[in-house]
Amino acid sequence: MIPLLDLSFISTLCLTRAGLKVDAEKAYLIESRLAPLARRECFSSTEAFIDALRHGVDDRLAWAAVEAMALPESEFFRDHHVFSQLADDVVPALARARGGEPVRIWSAGCGTGQEIYSLTMLLADAPGLKVELFASDLSERSLEKAQSGRYSQFEVQRGLPARMLVRHFEKDGESFALSPRVRQMVRWRRVNLMDDLARVGQFDLILCRNVVGQLAPEAGVHVLGALHDALAPGGFLALGQNDSAGKAFVRAAPDLSLYAATGQAARSAA
């Protein structure tokens, strides 16, 4: 059992570096996330790994620990109706409003890529639709997997329709490889949402689903404020069903967790 002081140390480390809310009482969760990392880094135990972090042996290890604790639950087409409405209604409406300019879309906290690829597959064959797709995450390992576009049988069975699997994937050994055409539509970047996001630019649609709920309250307010500033006029923010938008946004669609920035003229989402 990991000592309470070690659990509290990990909780504080995640909070200060990424705004991540980690309950120090959930020893089983911390152990399950950090034990594989400790083994991979050749430590004799999770406790030995945490002790090395406490003594500042390697800043790379500290970030690796935070990234391990921040791993999101990723699956294709989570809340399928959301992606259908984004692709069929929201993105085309944004395209019309942009008058031929590309619609800029950002998946913030993209995990291993299933979310942004779900939308990309739906947009890939839309005639005349110009989009620029970006995705970011805190975890380098998650981004590496996302960029590879390779998923296991278990991963493609989680939400991916059979027709999408046949159309956009090829079986490659024990995994499925996403087509280069879809993969190359997305640009990737490591971004800590607690950092200054001014360098990231502005977007017409930001997906940050099931991320804010993982953050400590003050961190969540900070991130929502930063996303507010990153949203282009008339743009939309898509959150998860259990994420709170706070006071910076107003709901833009009654049946979607889709929001417009407070103070902006909310364009119709349909």
Pick from 69, 98, 123: which residue ends a domain?
A: 69
- Taking residue 107's Cβ as centre, other Cβ atoms within 10 Å add up to 30
* Tens of pLDDT, residues 209-236: 999 999 999 999 999 999 999 999 999 9
Q: How far apart are CA 212 and CA 238, in angstroms?
A: 11
Is the pLDDT score of 267 beyond 70? no
Query: At 249, phi and psi to the nearest 5?
Result: -135, 160
**Is the domain of 97 the same as that of 29?**
no
Highest mean pLDDT among 28-32, 125-129, 240-244: 28-32
Find out whether 104 and 134 touch, Cβ atoms under 8 Å: yes
* Tens of pLDDT, residues 90-145: 999 999 999 989 999 999 999 999 999 999 999 998 888 999 999 999 999 999 99
Residues 43, 49, 51, 55, CA torsion sign: positive
**Is the domain of 196 the same as that of 136?**
yes
**Is the domain of 116 the same as that of 50?**
no
96 Cβ contact list (under 8 Å, min separation 6) = none
**Is the domain of 10 the same as that of 102?**
no
Find out whether 104 and 203 touch, Cβ atoms under 8 Å: yes
Buried/exposed 223-240: b ≥16 CB within 10 Å, e otherwise = bbebbbebbbebbbbbbb
pLDDT at 258: 95
Is the pLDDT score of 269 beyond 60? no
Q: What Rg do the C-alpha atoms of the chain give, in angstroms?
A: 19
**Is the domain of 99 the same as that of 139?**
yes
CATH at residue 231: 3.40.50.150
Domain of residue 168, residue span: 80-261
**Is the domain of 94 the same as that of 127?**
yes
In a domain, 210, yes or no: yes
**Is the domain of 58 the same as that of 99?**
no
In a domain, 203, yes or no: yes
Strands 131-137 and 186-190: parallel
Find out whether 50 and 2 touch, Cβ atoms under 8 Å: yes
pLDDT at 263: 66
In a domain, 31, yes or no: yes
**Is the domain of 164 the same as that of 35?**
no
Is the pLDDT score of 71 beyond 80? no
**Is the domain of 103 the same as that of 52?**
no
In a domain, 268, yes or no: no
**Is the domain of 153 the same as that of 228?**
yes
In a domain, 198, yes or no: yes
**Is the domain of 122 the same as that of 216?**
yes
How many domains, in total, are found in the chain?
A: 2
Q: Which of 87, 76, 79 is nearest to 269 (CA)?
A: 87
In a domain, 75, yes or no: no
Is the pLDDT score of 72 beyond 90? no
In a domain, 65, yes or no: yes
**Is the domain of 188 the same as that of 163?**
yes
